[in-house]
Amino acid sequence: MANAKGKTPDIKFDFNNMMADFIGAEQGITDAELNKTRNLAIAAHSNVRLNRGTGMMGWTELPYNQADVVSDIIATAKIVRRNADAFVVLGIGGSALGPMAVFQALCHLRHNELSKRQRKAPKFYVEDNVDPERMASLLDVLDLDKTVFNVITKSGSTSETMSQYLIIMKMLKERYGDKAREHIIATTDKEKGNLIKIAKAEGLKTFYIPDGVGGRFSELCPVGLLPAAVLGIDIKELLKGAAAMDKRMRKSDFKTNPALVAAALQYVAINKGKNISVMMPYADSLKLMADWYCQLWGESLGKSVDLNGREVFAGQTPVKALGVTDQHSQIQLYTEGPFDKVITFISVEKYRNEVVISDGAEEYPSVSFLSGHTLNELISAEMEATEYALTKKHRLNSRIVLPFVNAHTIGQLMMFFMFQTSYLGAMLNINTFNQPGVEEGKNATYALLGRAGYEEKKAEIAAKPAKKEQYIV
């Protein structure tokens, strides 16, 4: 889908409807307000630029520094594709949402329901919960002989993922003995955590999550690249798309750096009381991209203290929506409810299919007017109509435009969001890359289930006030 010059077009960020010219002075952002954030945005840009590739910003270099690992991934994926009928990711959070989002964006929307010949890749499952019914039902549909599992955990100790690993490994060992290792691939930190030790002891094929790449920033390393390659996705193109977006991040100019202006606009919006960020793609293929965005935005920016230790309770609540589906569910609230949201649409200029609406019901003009149009026209018209209705009601909204959905534009889109999040985190002066709130819950789980070393935490939990019967009905 390259243009005449052989280049895939850039995705675009259209923020007309964030501005006072379109939304009105009371809710909209004025040029003066945007200009006032310029210095802060420039400082955030230089902070991100200076720190790229260091600390927890290793993800910025992933498009450039993985040649060897990409070859290994492609070779491994080839073997899996040849032998397996199902590929199952065991992981949660950043170790699951990226693989799911990329699968949905770039594979057939009914991938698992296609015949093996049609799908040309194993069926794909991502088990990102420990609901016992879900695990039992997965085991009901898998043919273990033809299944490869990919256990993914950066910390190597997440209870959910390690529980799944234990269940699956025992089953594989009972059935295949030493050959169990042929059914499981580990993706984890090179040194830290338990999974790496287990993987070495069991002789598992292992891919490493590079230093400085945290869970929600890990889609472009083996966490996401191995599942994508198994599914037949062109991972080199995904990385090329990410590199193309990275190049647009070089300058601290609102006119050329889309993620920087997008971050600055959200910063102004937050200061105007817009505490909710709605991500609303108009494409089923991008539905789970909104889920991935929600984790990135929520976990990165939701912080109680800033870098100086001052209490700030920063963040903007991310909400996922789907066009047109949620026009019949949430849009009423977005159009007429509190003025506390920024809605970001993701539009696709050219869908991979065109479906014509058939003739019929000629005696009912209010139905037959649809005939001859395409579903493509309908979905685009509905998006434009919703954008219009929101704008008319003074609701901040913007649009990310994808020329089409392919590996290159998905690489661009994910890099756009990771940079936007990092710029906004720097503007808010918070640590974008930690997740103390998640760790607290993880540690409490260890304590409740009796992990050694967590006795103090267990005592702390036991000392919490007992629930009162009077408040339970």
Please identify every residue annotated as catalytic.
299, 328, 442
What stretch of H or E contains 332? helix 331-336
Contact segment (CB under 6 A) with ligand PA5 among 41-49, 154-162, 164-172, 370-378 equals: 154-162
Phi, psi of 279 (to 5 degrees): -105, 120
Half-sphere exposure of residue 250, counting CA atoms within 13 Å on the CB side? Answer: 4
Q: Across-strand partners of 398? A: 344
Near ligand PA5 by CB under 6 A, which window of 89-97, 136-144, 279-287, 349-357?
89-97
93 counts as binding ligand PA5 under rule CB under 6 A: yes
Residues 161-190 that bind ligand PA5 (CB under 6 A): 161
**Which of 29, 41, 62, 92 lies at the binding interface for ligand PA5 (CB under 6 A)?**
92
- Smallest distance from ligand PA5 to CB 60, Å: 16
Residue 187 or 412 having the CB closest to ligand PA5:
187
Binding residue (CB under 6 A) for ligand PA5 from 9, 63, 98, 214:
214
Nearer to ligand PA5, 147 or 161 (CB): 161
191/253 with CB nearer ligand PA5: 191
Sign of CA dihedral 276, 424, 152, 69: positive
In the complex with ligand PA5, the residue whose CB is nearer, 15 or 125, is 125
Interacting residue with ligand PA5 among 216, 236, 303, 395 (CB under 6 A): 216
What single-letter amino acid sits at 226? L
Does residue 95 interact with ligand PA5 by CB under 6 A? yes
Q: How far is the CB of 154 from ligand PA5 (least distance, A)?
A: 4
Select from 65-73, 88-96, 310-318, 397-405 the region that touches ligand PA5 (CB under 6 A): 88-96
Cα–Cα distance between 237 and 409 in angstroms, integer?
9
Please give the Cα distance from 389 to 435 (Å, whole number).
37
All residues at 6 or more sequence positions from 226 whose CB lies less than 8 Å from its CB, including other chains: 73, 76, 77, 150, 185, 187, 207
Q: How many residues bind ligand PA5 (CB under 6 A)?
A: 15
Q: What angle do CA 305, 261, 307 make, to 5 degrees?
A: 15
Block residue for tokens 């949402």: 97
Please say which residue, 58 or 214, places its beta carbon nearer to ligand PA5. Answer: 214
Nearer to ligand PA5, 152 or 238 (CB): 152
Q: Give the Cβ contact number of residue 429 at 10 Å.
A: 18
Query: Among candidates 92, 102, 106, 175, which has minimal Cα distance to 134?
Result: 92
Shortest reach from residue 105's CB to ligand PA5, in Å: 19
Answer yes or no: are the C-beta atoms of 233 and 102 closer than 8 Å. Answer: yes
CB of 300 to ligand PA5, least distance (A): 8
Q: Residue 306: is it exposed, middle or buried by C-beta count within 10 angstroms (0-12/13-18/19+)?
A: middle
Please enumerate, as own/partner, the contacts of 196-205 that have beta carbons within 8 Å and a separation of 24 or more: 196/156, 197/156, 198/165, 202/169, 205/76, 205/181
Our CB check for ligand PA5 shows the closer of 193 and 403 to be 193
Q: What residues numbered 298-317 form the site for ligand PA5, per CB under 6 A?
A: 299
* Contact status: 94 vs ligand PA5 (CB under 6 A): yes
Residues 386-445 that bind ligand PA5 (CB under 6 A): 435, 438
Residue 272, burial from CB neighbour count under 10 angstroms (0-12, 13-18, 19+): middle
Among all residues, whose Cβ is closest to ligand PA5?
Answer: 215
* Residues 315-374 contacting ligand PA5, CB under 6 A: none
Binding footprint of ligand PA5 on the chain (CB under 6 A): 92-95, 153-155, 158, 161, 214-216, 299, 435, 438
